[in-house]
Structure 1
Amino acid sequence: MITIIYRLLFLLCLALSVLSAQAEDRGPKGVVRVGIFPFEPLNFLDGNGVAQGLYPDLLRKIVKDEKWSVKFVPGSWAEGLERLQRGEIDLILSVAYSPERAEIMDFTFESVAELWGQVFFKPNSKFKNINSLDGQRVAIMSKDISGSNFIATAEKLGVHCKITEYPTHAKVFAAVQEGIVDAGVAPQHFGLRHAREFNLISSSIMFSPFSIYFASKKGTQHELLSHIDSYLSNWKKEPDSFYYERLGYWLGNRSLRTIFPTWVIYTFIFGFVSILIFASFSVILKRTVNRRTRELQESEERMRLFFERQIVGMAITSPEKGWIQVNDRLIQMLGYSRAELACQTWEKMTHPEDIATDLAQFNRLLSGEINEYSLEKRFIRKDGSVILTNLSVGCVRRADNSVNFIVALIDDITERKQAEEELSNQKKLFETMFNTITDGVVITNTNREIRLANKGMENTFGYKPDELLGKRTEILYADQDKYRQTGMTVFGNNTQKQGDQYITYYRNSKGIEFPGETFGAKLFDEKGRWLGNLGIMRDITERIRQENERILLQKQLSHSQKMEAIGTLAGGIAHDFNNILAAVLGYAEMVQEDCPVGSSMRVDIDQVIKASLRAKELVKQILAFSRETEIEEKTLQPALIIKEAVKLFRASLPTTIDIQQKFEPEVGQILADPTQIHQIVTNLFTNAFHAMEETGGTLTITLKNQELTQTDLFNEPNVQPGIFVQMAVTDTGSGIAPEIMDKIFDPYFTTKEVGKGTGMGLAIIHSIVKRSGGFISCQSSLGEGTTFRVYLPVHEAAAPPEAETIPVNLIQTGIERILFVDDEEMLAEMGKTMLERLGYRVTVETNSIEALKIIQSQPDRFDLVITDQTMPGITGSDLARCILQVRPDMPIILCTGFSNQVSEEKAKIYGIKGFAMKPLANKDLAILVRNVLDGERRED
């Protein structure tokens, strides 16, 4: 039996030593904040604001030889409780114990004083006992135990009072004195000292004795309370201790004046001395007895303190009596009060999945097979939540080996297990992330020996992670220079640099070198010691290729933007030139009308008109080059477009290059967009020019019909047999190398130097021809020249009727009123003259805004409006829309030399009846005006 007890005590002491090691250096330190409230003579502030009373004297004595000090924080009793719960103070004085307060506060085991609650009246009050207070007004201090006890006592006796709360006992007495209430409740010792100050008397109504303690917020100051307990316990064992001296001083009723006769005082003194002598004799006898039991009592006290102050839950139970004792930590851990826990069974608080294991071990303990056991067990708290614990159970047995009582230690390891699980999950997450990174990642020691490598190393270098462990990172670099360079840049021992990003060359497991981008960083522990290095390596071969391609595309875009700018410039020049040409052609035609047929002046002016018409066609070619229009396929003769392209290109070629044209008669028509055919010819001419730019030579273009069979089209499976128009462009330049012949139609492929080509010309030609149902081929020999042949299918369609030439003297005239709007004064005056010669009444306006005002003010003044498109203020198309809002049936003709904003189709959508491109010949203008006016009449 004794052996078992010693084993259990050894187990408890072992746990104590472990916990003590964990709690090393704990205990009161620094300044302890103490809440003090007016509660004479136990604690109060004097006139100088100094803490006085029994409690302050005891605390000052306790801290006298300690390494901590006390700071008193004054306030009311209610304020002190609130500050304690907010953590603004560490300790509060004069607290009476109650089960409710024990839920939120810890108390010293040793009380400081024992008090009674008492009721106080005015001297002339008629109240004799507590029953006489039924229905009366009674004052209590807020949250005071005396007041709570009075209310509870009155309720038990069926006495119902009107309770009023005040912050201090002094205010309670003041309310009684002033007649606000009929009676006041206070601790007996307070009334004996202060009742006379308020002209009150104590009644015979005394109730509920209670003890008062030091207290702290629940679970925060166990060491501090234990420290105070040790002093109080030792003091109480010595009758002449500091505690009893201060207790007699403060509770000795020093302030009361005697009102008794002298003989009574002497009698009292004699009796007191007799009692004191008897008490002294009793104390001597008690000391003799206590001397033999003191060691056991001290041991029991230490064990009690050990039990109550444990940071793990502890319980003492027995098979017969159930719960015997539990400590505060277990109560806090399980969430039950002591009374609630007494009603709970061990099985009800055990997780269902753990009952069988725990019960099996417990039965082995009861049977005597074992004396102790430990296991991990889940408990169910009062709120239904689950906590995981380490449960250690031991027992003390009787002489017959049956279990007398059981001691259980319960350590809540929920947070620790969660932390371990979280750490495990983080480790798994790290491993997953580490191995899913596509780039190669290694971690090395300070000697650059690989300690960890991810699966990305196999993707990047061809090495499996295990193959690299223990090897230096030197094997990953292209050469020693690269290895040394990165080592000095990032990982040198003498550098404080912790990380860097750099470009270098690596070598994979097959010995192939490749460019790589690497981020390297030093790794340090929490004390700043260098542990090793981290390297993240990426193959950037593809990125460099894309970067080079991006640079090339940027150059091509720049060239494209340059060409677009040239096209825009060409369009602007064409517009201005058209205006000049319109004036030249218009006035020339008017002079022609006035010259006799056959005269030398008529011959000269005919040449002027002929040259103007040729210039007009040249401007059309410039506009075709500059405009970005949608594809508009139509039946056409390719020879006409090719000839115009040759004329346009001839001026840009040096005289060292000769152009020869060989066109067969009766070449078939094709279905194509004229602009795209023009583009094909221009691109082929440009390639031929570049091939002969330095040496000169001959550029030959041929055009003929050719019938192709299925056999001829063996290499062009998507092209249908039939008759094709073949256009061939041949140069006598340097030729094309055989190894690049298959790439010449690839986008962006070019052999020309920077600035002479984008590599898109032949690709564009290939796309246009393929879309038209044809194909293109190339034949070339180095040093002998190159021939490109374009095959386009013949499109059989009825030829458009030839335009009928209308003699000038048969041109219809009219007498209608016309508003002619053009910001160029010369063109405006010419238009007026031309129309007036045809009989029309013309009003000229060079400001489009003023023209709109005229129409708005006089909508029916004109029969027709002719307007230019490009004008400041309001464009021609906007002017037309505004006019049609005023007069929807107004006929309008829109003229333009060049505009990306308007076309004949858009003009019709706007409601414009006629559309003309400048320059406009006299007869064309006359016919257009007449058609618009006569068309309006036919609609009417």
Structure 2
Amino acid sequence: MDEAVLILTPHGRDAAVAADLLKRHGIPAFICEHLGALSAAIERGAGAALVAEEALAGADLDLLTARLEQQPPWSDFPFVVLANGHKGMRSTRAFETLDRMRNVVLLERPLHAESMVRAARSALNARRRQYEARDVLARSREELERLVMERTREREEALAQLHEAQKLETIGQLTGGVAHDFNNLLTPVMGNLDLLRRRLPGDDVKSQRLVENALQATSRAATLVQRLLAFARRQDLQPKAVDVSGLLAGIEDLVSRSIGPTIAVTVQSPANLPAARVDPSQLELAILNLAINARDAMPRGGSLVMEVGQQSIPPALRDTLRAGDYICVSVADTGVGMDAATLKRAIEPFFSTKGVGKGTGLGLSMVHGLAAQSGGALQLSSQPGVGTRAELWLPVADEQAAASEQTQVEAIMAPRPSTVLLVDDEELVRVGTAEMLMDLGYSVVQAGSGAEALGVLRRGEIEIDMLVSDYLMPGIGGADMVREARKLRPDLPALLITGYTNLVQGPGAELPRLAKPFRQAELASRIAELIDAAQARDNVLTLPDARRSEGR
């Protein structure tokens, strides 16, 4: 019926003749008895209608035009109207009738048979194009719906990622602030315990043991704070060019001892890899954390593969990492694995699957924070019953890796007579640090703010040999205060003490620094080193003057 021409000619054999003519030219035709039948046939489906003008009268025309007005947007049913052959002008009523039918081609009678056939074919062609447009619109609508669903899904995923990032950022800000305050509390505790241990009689074994246990507890607390700061991306990193293959080889024995004999450790580290830019000590701690997590996931033993290589950025991290070259350090185990819900929360601080008392839940948080703060990323993949793979992506360094240095514990040295200007807004920290310095033989001038310290230097009543200042203080901060102090004393050695701020990318990056909490030995070694370096510079500067005096 969609290809048929409906015929309505109410007088004589006109309908039969027209139908026979169309059929002889291969055009299906269907005769309608009245306008109501024509309207119903159009509703069922037809290609066009051939209608005598005299049939367009009566109430049935209202039914037909109402049906035409309800056509879908793509449809405009075509009519070929056989006019009565008016000798004069067509009446206004006749024009209104034709207008109500919308898509009309008017043929004046008498007409040639070929004209009627061509008019019918033109109407059918127009109708076919309407059907084609309908199909195109349907396909476009389906494609549009698919695109809308895809974009909606992508938007929901992006919003979920944004929500997760905002949540982690909020948690990071909270943990960073708490860790900073906790560092300020640990600093005098650790310092006072150090002083107490030195002042206890050597034969008081019980008291020495109690103090040593307390020092070990504060050291563990300091490690916990460092993990919090790593997650918050506010630890004081000291990145350098690191040979990661050499680093892995150096800690292989430590990892093997830490995870036990039931787990086979394999290290795959090709030679001639470029150096990665990262804090080496924090990287060692991160790899050890990953290895210990893997051990806990393999209670009955298994295998652990640590691998390093230079790789292109994977699709999952293209929106996270900047363009460039990266070193990928991976730690893969054959443990119990994690389901999707656990994997999603794995890097949240204090989230742990190890049970109460068996872990802090900060291992992966620390690794995530180290990677992000180093300009890289942490990527986790896991399947229950298969295992977990952690990939630590680190940017390639511009310079060559330096030879590894063996860390040595400096003994407390008896200093030459020197005066230290100590600046800290936290009285508890300042007094505890001052006690450590005075116990070492330094004279100490204390200041509770940067402005107060600058006032001491401007008055010049006391000869200051060294400036030791907290970094983050109300008013003028430590780095700004050192810059102002060096306008008065350009050669004044200075040491910044920091609780969490990443000085590598901020003001004061060029200044020597010491991380809170610190032991008395660390403080003594750092200050003695800076004072010796300053005096060595002074000797070099005065040497030419001495030689000139000898020449005279």
What TM-score bracket applies, with the shorter chain setting the length? 0.5 to 0.7
Match for residue 929 of structure 1? Answer: 527
For the 8 Å contact 1:816–1:841, the answer to whether it is kept is yes
Say whether 1:619 aligns with 2:225: yes
Superposed, which structure 2 residues align to 1:255-270 within 5 Å? none
> 1:471: how far off?
7.1
CA distance in 2, matches of 1:687, 1:452: 70
Taking the aligned partners of 1:665 and 1:601, their CA distance within structure 2 comes to 45
Q: Is residue 603 of structure 1 aligned with residue 209 of structure 2?
A: yes
Q: Please give the alpha-carbon distance, in whole angstroms, between the structure 1 residues aligned to 2:140 and 2:267.
A: 63
Higher Cα radius of gyration: 1
> Are the counterparts in 1 of residues 241 and 402 from structure 2 also a CA contact under 8 Å?
no
Q: Please report how far the alpha carbon of residue 883 of structure 1 lies from its aligned counterpart in structure 2 after TM superposition.
A: 1.5
Aligned to 2:404: 800
Cα deviation per residue 1:676-718 (whole Å; 9 max; x = unaligned)?
Answer: 78778889999999xx9xxx987966256899xxxxxxxxxxx
Larger RCO (CA under 8 A, 6+ residues apart): 2
Deviation at 1:559, TM superposition (A): 0.5
Q: Secondary structure at the match of 2:190?
A: helix
Counterpart residue type for residue 521 of structure 2: K
Alpha-carbon separation, structure 2, partners of 1:698 and 1:925: 45
Measured in 2, the distance between the counterparts of 1:922 and 1:827 equals: 13
CA distance in 1, matches of 2:287, 2:409: 33
Instruction: Tell me which residue corresponds to 2:459.
Output: 857
Partner of residue 727, structure 1: 331
Distance 1:757 1:777 in 2: 9
**Distance in structure 2 (CA, Å) of the matches to 1:880 and 1:634:** 31
Mapped to 1, the partners of 2:71 and 2:291 lie a distance apart of: 61
Residue 882 in structure 1 maps to residue 484 in structure 2: yes
- 2: CA distance, partners of 1:586 / 1:549: 53
Are 1:560 and 2:165 counterparts? yes
1:47-66 to structure 2, matched below 5 A, reads none
Question: Within the alignment, does 1:573 sit opposite 2:178 as a pair?
Answer: yes
Residue 662 in structure 1 maps to residue 263 in structure 2: yes
- Contact 2:305 2:333 survives alignment (8 Å): no
Distance in 2 (CA, whole Å) between partners of 1:631 and 1:616 is: 20
CA contact (8 A) 2:263 2:304 kept: yes
Matched, 1:544 2:149: yes
1:622 CA displacement: 2.4
Q: CA deviation at 1:508?
A: 3.7
> How much has 1:895 moved relative to structure 2?
0.5
CA RMSD of aligned residues (A): 5.3
Which residue of structure 2 aligns with residue 840 of structure 1?
442
Alignment of 1:513-532 (within 5 A): 514-515=141-142
CA distance in 1, matches of 2:380, 2:427: 54
1:635 aligned to which of 243, 246, 250: 243
**2:472 paired residue number:** 870
- Give SS of 1:839's match: coil
In the TM superposition, what is the alpha-carbon distance from 1:925 to its structure 2 partner? 1.0
Amino acid in the other structure paired with 1:932: L
Q: Deviation of residue 591 (structure 1)?
A: 0.7
Counterpart of 2:189? 584
Q: 1:816 aligns with which of 415, 418, 442?
A: 418
Q: Which runs of 5+ in 2 are unaligned?
A: 1-66, 78-122, 310-327, 348-363, 395-399, 539-552
TM alignment of 1:373-384, pairs within 5 A:
none
Identity %: 23
Distance 2:178 2:255 in 1: 19
Q: How far apart in 2 are the matches of 1:554 and 1:829?
A: 49
How far 1:824 sits from its partner (Å)? 1.2
Which structure features the higher share of helix residues? 2
CA distance in 2, matches of 1:591, 1:630: 31
The one-letter code sitting in structure 1 at the alignment partner of 2:71 is: R
The answer as to whether partners of 2:266 and 2:304 remain within 8 angstroms in 1 is: no
Give the equivalent residue in structure 2 for 1:745. none
Structure 2 counterpart SS, 1:812: coil
> Is contact 1:698-1:732 (8 Å) kept?
no
Cα-to-partner distance string for 1:718-773 (whole Å, 9 max, x where unaligned): xxxxxx997322233588xxxxxxxxxxxxxxx55997589xx9xx99xx9xx99x
Aligned residue identity for 2:515: M
> How many equivalent pairs are there?
366
Shift of 1:557: 0.6
User: What is aligned with 1:828?
Assistant: 430
Q: Is the 8 A contact 1:586 1:920 kept in 2?
A: yes
| Residue equivalent to 1:594 | 199
Distance in 1, matches of 2:408 and 2:292, equals 36
Greater strand percent: which structure? 1
Equivalent residue of 1:850, what SS? helix
Contact 2:425 2:449 in 1 (8 A): yes
SS at match of 2:508: helix
Partner SS state of residue 731, structure 1? coil
* 1:257-656 pair list within 5 angstroms: 446-448=69-71, 450=74, 469-470=126-127, 508=135, 514-515=141-142, 539-598=144-203, 599-627=205-233, 632-635=240-243, 637-638=247-248
| Other structure's SS at 1:702 match | strand
**Taking structure 1 as reference, are residues 683 and 447 closer, same or farther at Cα in structure 2, changes over 3 Å only?**
farther
Unaligned runs of 5+ in 1: 1-443, 454-465, 477-506, 517-538, 651-657, 708-723, 736-750
Tell me the amino acid that sits aligned with residue 508 of structure 2: A
**C-alpha separation in 1, matches of 2:161 and 2:252:** 27
Tell me the CA shift for residue 807 of structure 1.
3.9
Is this contact kept in 2: 1:821–1:847, CA < 8 A?
yes
Q: Could you list the per-position Cα deviations for residues 807-851 of structure 1 after superposition, in whole angstroms to 9, with x for gaps in the alignment?
A: 44xx13232222111111111111211111222211111233222
